[in-house]
Amino acid sequence: SLSDRLGKIFDGLRGRGALNAADVDAAMREIRRALIEADVSLEVVRAFVEQVRERAVGAEVTRSVTPGQQVVKIVHDELVSVLGSDAVTIDLNAAAPVTLLMVGLQGSGKTTTTAKIAKRLKDRQKKKVLLASLDTRRPAAMEQLRVLGEQVGVDTLPIVTTETPVEIARRAEREGRLGGYDVLILDTAGRTHVDEELMAETAEIKSIARPHEILLVVDALTGQDAINVARSFDQRLDATGIVMTRVDGDGRGGAALSMRAATGKPIKLIGVGEKMDALEDFHPSRIADRILGMGDIVSLVEKAAQNVSAEEAEKMAKKLKKGSFDFEDLRAQLLQMKRMGGMNGLMGLLPGAGQLKKAMAGANVDEKVFDRQIAIINSMTKKERANPDLLNASRRKRIAAGAGVEVSEINKLAKQHRQMADMMKKVSKGGMGSLAGMFGG
């Protein structure tokens, strides 16, 4: 995958201060190739690579696990920003019946997606939905929508074969209004390619139906063609969103990237199969992961976070060698653990971590406990932090007042610190070799 390849390129760079232009260029070649493989249009690839290069050259590498991972992260973030950072969904914020118009080429998945959306709105949002097929060209198309509607338990407008698409749109609007429907979805006819007749017809339907959403349905598998189609439809009809179908199967997430870049319109939903529930919200970050070949971005973020702790652990290891563990260190620990959202911080890197964790806030970690303990240490003088033995009764009272806690909590923290310091001593005697190995690797 791309992440693997980037990893290889950057393996040799560990520990240099910042990414230089030559390093980044090597990575960019891989990124370019991967994007093209993922079916991203050349024009988008070019612009994208340029953006990433700008962000990557000179970026500090010290804090990341490996420079490769850091570049992957930059690429990932940039992908997400191009794809649109937030998942956008269908907007139903309008007077009922809210009309959705489905447009796109023949075979792109309009009729299937119409029924899928209807099912989703009915099941998840308890909406009363009416479907209408304006595909007068093929009687079978109307029947197809009727059958799908029946399958998902949603009403379809009765078929009248003598009407024009515009007449059907009018009848559908009336029926939607009188029938008390929340949502009306108009499925339109497609063509095998974009032509003026189709555009004119769809534009007329738009002016009559005045849809709240115009959803452009495009087939992800048609790659570059889908982009051109999307562009022409969007220029003429000004779509409000894109639905990408056939995102199931191979990893052609690249089409999404091009689509977004070409039209600037958000991808609202993706079709991931023929079944009626094979419709998903579009998550830019998942598509970015797919393009990069990273199974799971969460793991990357975790690795990055763990790396920060590795740096701090290194400092800690040095202190352990000297045999000191004061309140300053404890505070660093608490902040670290808070940042890591739990017990996976530095403690996780030390042997005997299980016992240490117990000695800390307790098995049931509560953020507020960390905050209170940090507040206590903040209320100590520098001297007290460095010399835990200084904490006599009057000092404890002063600290408690400063931190806004009971003296008993100061006692608890002092006891906890002593236990940890003892534990640290044992750990440092037995395990410095392995610790060093851990921090180096």
Going by the annotation, the residues of the binding site for GTP are 104-111, 187-191, 245-248
Amino acid found at 167 = E
Q: Which of residues 69 and 112 has its CB atom nearest to ligand GDP in the complex? A: 112
Q: Which of residues 230 and 340 has its CB atom nearest to Mg ion in the complex? A: 230
Choosing among Mg ion, ligand GDP, none, which partner's interface includes residue 40 (Cβ < 5 to 8 Å by kind)? none
Cα separation, 327 vs 423, whole angstroms: 15
Q: Tell me the window of 61-69, 107-115, 230-238, 344-352 that interacts with ligand GDP (CB under 6 A).
A: 107-115
- Map residue 392 onto helix, strand or coil: coil
Contact call for residues 193 and 105 (beta carbons, < 8 A): yes
Per-residue CA distances from 360 to 246, 249, 380, 420 (Å):
51, 48, 19, 8
Q: Could you tell me the smallest distance in angstroms from the CB atom of residue 270 to ligand GDP? A: 7
Chain centre distance of CA 31: 20
Cα separation, 30 vs 75, whole angstroms: 11
Positive/negative CA dihedral, 65, 68, 74, 79: negative
Question: What tokens were used for 274?
Answer: 């023929």
- Residues lying near Mg ion in the complex (CB under 5 A): 110-111, 141
Per-residue CA distances from 212 to 218, 225, 391 (Å):
19, 27, 68
Choosing among Mg ion, ligand GDP, none, which partner's interface includes residue 109 (Cβ < 5 to 8 Å by kind)? ligand GDP
Dihedral angle of Cα 189, 192, 196, 200, to the nearest 10 degrees: 10
109 lies in the binding site for ligand GDP (CB under 6 A): yes
Q: Could you tell me the smallest distance in angstroms from the CB atom of residue 279 to ligand GDP? A: 8
Helix axes 21-37, 42-56, angle to 10 degrees: 150
Q: Which of residues 277 and 311 has its CB atom nearest to ligand GDP in the complex? A: 277
Q: Tell me the window of 126-134, 241-249, 297-305, 417-425 that interacts with ligand GDP (CB under 6 A).
A: 241-249
- Determine which residue in the list 64, 112, 136, 373 makes contact with ligand GDP, applying CB under 6 A: 112
How does DSSP assign 138-173, residue by residue? -HHHHHHHHHHHHHHT-EEPPP-TT--HHHHHHHHH
Q: Which of residues 19 and 239 has its CB atom nearest to ligand GDP in the complex? A: 239
Choosing among ligand GDP, Mg ion, none, which partner's interface includes residue 373 (Cβ < 5 to 8 Å by kind)? none
Task: Please give the size of the binding site for ligand GDP, defined by CB under 6 A.
Answer: 18
274 lies in the binding site for ligand GDP (CB under 6 A): yes
SS3 content of the chain, % helix, strand, coil (to 5): 60, 10, 30
Q: 433 Cβ partners below 8 Å, 6+ apart?
A: none
Choosing among ligand GDP, Mg ion, none, which partner's interface includes residue 66 (Cβ < 5 to 8 Å by kind)? none
Choosing among ligand GDP, Mg ion, none, which partner's interface includes residue 272 (Cβ < 5 to 8 Å by kind)? ligand GDP
Q: Could you tell me the smallest distance in angstroms from the CB atom of residue 2 to ligand GDP? A: 25
Q: Could you tell me the smallest distance in angstroms from the CB atom of residue 104 to ligand GDP? A: 6
- Determine which residue in the list 18, 272, 305, 343 makes contact with ligand GDP, applying CB under 6 A: 272
Per-residue CA distances from 207 to 91, 101, 106, 200 (Å):
19, 11, 22, 11
Using CB atoms within 10 Å of the CB of residue 4, give its burial: 0 to 12 exposed, 13 to 18 middle, 19+ buried. Answer: middle
Q: Could you tell me the smallest distance in angstroms from the CB atom of residue 148 to ligand GDP? A: 8
- Determine which residue in the list 73, 110, 286, 290 makes contact with ligand GDP, applying CB under 6 A: 110
Considering only residues 66 to 105 of the shown chain, the ones binding ligand GDP according to CB under 6 A are 104
Q: Could you tell me the smallest distance in angstroms from the CB atom of residue 56 to ligand GDP? A: 35
Name the residue with the smallest CB distance to ligand GDP.
Answer: 271
375 lies in the binding site for ligand GDP (CB under 6 A): no
Helices (H), 276-406: 284-292, 297-322, 327-339, 346-349, 353-359, 367-378, 382-386, 393-403
251 lies in the binding site for ligand GDP (CB under 6 A): no
Q: Which of residues 82 and 103 has its CB atom nearest to Mg ion in the complex? A: 103
Q: Footprint of ligand GDP on this chain (CB under 6 A)? A: 104, 106-112, 190, 217, 245-246, 248, 271-274, 278
